[in-house]
Chain A
Amino acid sequence: MALSNYLDQLTRFSDWFIPSDLAANREQREKARLFLYSHICGPFIGGSVPLTIWLFDDATDFRVVTLFASIFAFWIFPPLLRTFGRYYLVSIASVQNLIFCILWSCYFYGGLSSPMVAWVLVIPLLSFMYVGSSARMRGVLIAQFLVNGLIYYALCNWFVSPTVTMTAGALEALGIVSTAAACAYVTMMALLYANALASQVELQSEVDRHLATAADLLAATEDARRSSTAKSDFIARMSHELRTPLNAIIGYSEILLDDSEGDPVESRDLDRIRQAGKHLLKLVNRILDLSRIEAGRMEKSAEWTDCGQLAQGVADDLAPLAKKNGDKIVCKIEPGLGLISTDAHKLKQILGNLVENAAQYTRNGEIVVSVERAQAGPDEALQIVVRDNGPGIAPDRLPHVLNNFDVLDDDRENADSGAGLGLPLARRLCELIGARLSIESKIGKGTVAFVRLLRNGDATLGAGADFGIAPPSEDIKALADLGAAMRSAQSQRSYENDQAAVG
């Protein structure tokens, strides 16, 4: 416990010398730490050698002073590293100092039989520890060793190693101190290295665990995506299969209606069958459209469109429906809007859904469809506003009405032809053609829906603005909603409901 505390303190002290760019890379930081440990602790251990010489050798001269100086010179390297940051250069300089002090002591104190020869082993051990895995630096180190070895060999040939002035007993003591110090030094470095290795292994296994988790998550996402696509495919196919028998129901009821002139009861019943069939077909078509959009299979096109004319067309188409609730549809079209390039069919669907929704909830009121230049944002060119003076939507429900399959709970009996599909479909279609849909509402006052068509680039309205097409959103959750809503639509849309709607 106490030892690890000291180690922590040593690490904190060492880290103070590590420049931030080295500290950012884990491998570099570990190397720099080993470098600093050895430089901070090394002189305390290595210093025992010149100390012993100084104590036992009568002739205290430049040899032992130089040795002292070169050993404590190691303490210069940590501040150098902090100041200049050139880690490899500082390492090479430090290695050079190490070689110098070891060869110096060997040369003056016994040559090849010097008690300090054991320290030669420390040179490669420390050097390679400092440079780590860099192949280039390893090469530099080997070259450095060779050059130093050659110079030492040459010097020994030219100048014969001086005779040792110490006594045999003093030399023996020096041998014991030097070997013990070398052992202690190597032991310290080996332990520190083992610690660093252990923490690295721990980190690696942590990284492996995270990678495995990431792979699992990726696989799960892929599974979810696949199953949601499969669900959309299934719904698209099913909806198509549902249309064929529905066409027969609608078609034959129309034929029978043609034949049943004169009998009001029969005509009314047949008309109810026809209306119910058409209603069901509308639901099926909306589900089909939603699932096609969500499966990314809804096509889109662009053509020059007169939005005013388009809005007027929608208003005319839905006037009979509005009349049932005593509503009036009014179109207000700003003059001189010109043509815009957009998917006219989808825009018509969007407007149809918005107007139909407004007509559904409004009683004896007015639905105003305005087509005008957009005022909100510079990227918007044109807006179509559908405003009603119906009951309005409560603030807490407002954020949800554009989500799939939300019907107004408090007005469920009136929600007869949408099953909450109209507004979500309008939202999806808007996303598909690159338009913005937003809804504002006030209880008792009415509801306003804005469709803002976006300007693409610097095209000008009037001369013919070009509108960008946004990619379909990939909302996996919405697909889950789709399945849930199909179930709720089945349970809610009973025949009785339809009959109430028609009657």
Chain B
Amino acid sequence: MTKLLLVEDNENNRDMLSRRLIRQGFEIAFAVDGPEAIAGAASENPDLILMDVALGAMSGWEATLAIKANPATANIPVIALTAHALASDRARSVEVGCIDYDTKPVDFPRLLGKIHAALANVKEAQS
């Protein structure tokens, strides 16, 4: 079963997104802030990380940089979730090593498409 690590500090958003993803057949692990995300990436070994960038003390981008710096977790694809569709947000997402990005509120079918595309991309790279 494909495992996703959902990094999101807002409980409602975490609950909504996880329930819809579980219904799509994903297994979900959670992290509520940057340090938990870094630890979770190593311990849960997810197939993909959904990273909210507005996380409080440590931003999702900083957490992504740390995950990409660790050789054990560097290959896990990260999709950034930002509040605005700003060009600078998009640029920053690419800069820290995210494979894709999407805006919140989540358009679920679109996000699902991005998740599947990212997973296919990784599989292709591995084979």
Interface residues of chain A, those whose CB is within 8 Å of chain B, are 240, 243-244, 246-248, 250-252, 254-255, 258, 281, 299-301, 303, 343, 345
Contact = CB atoms under 8 A, between A and B. Distances in A.
A345 B90 CA distance: 12
Contact of B105 (A240, A243, A255): A243
Given A243-B105, A244-B10, A247-B13, A255 B20 contact: yes
A364 B20 CA distance: 38
Interface string B11-25: 011001101100100
B20 A247 contact: no
Nearest to A247: B105
B16 A258 contact: no
Contacts of B10: 244
B16 A255 contact: yes
Given A247-B12, A247-B13, A248-B16, A254 B83 contact: no
Judged by DSSP, the binding face of B is: helix
A281 B103 CA distance: 14
Nearest to B17: A251
Contacts, number: 41
Query: Which 6 A-B residue pairings sit nearest by Cβ, starting from the closest?
Result: A301-B87, A251-B16, A248-B12, A247-B105, A299-B86, A299-B88
A251 B106 contact: yes
Contacts of B13: 247-248, 251
Given A243-B105, A252-B12, A343-B87, 14 more contacts: A240-B83, A244-B12, A246-B105, A247-B12, A248-B12, A248-B13, A250-B105, A255-B16, A255-B19, A258-B20, A299-B86, A300-B87, A301-B87, A303-B87
Judged by DSSP, the binding face of A is: helix
A258 B87 contact: no
A175 B123 CA distance: 123
A281 B105 CA distance: 9
B55 to A, nearest CB: 14
Nearest to B19: A255
B116 interface: no
B26 interface: no
A247 B32 CA distance: 18
B105 A251 contact: yes
B75 to A, nearest CB: 29
Contacts of B83: 240, 243
A303 B91 CA distance: 12
Contacts of B85: 345
Contacts of A248: 12-13, 16
Contacts of A247: 12-13, 104-105
Interface string B90-127: 00000000000000111010000000000000000000
Nearest to A292: B84
Contacts of A300: 87
A109 to B, nearest CB: 94
Interface in B29-65: none
Contacts of A281: 105
A343 B86 CA distance: 11
B87 A254 contact: no
A281 B104 CA distance: 11
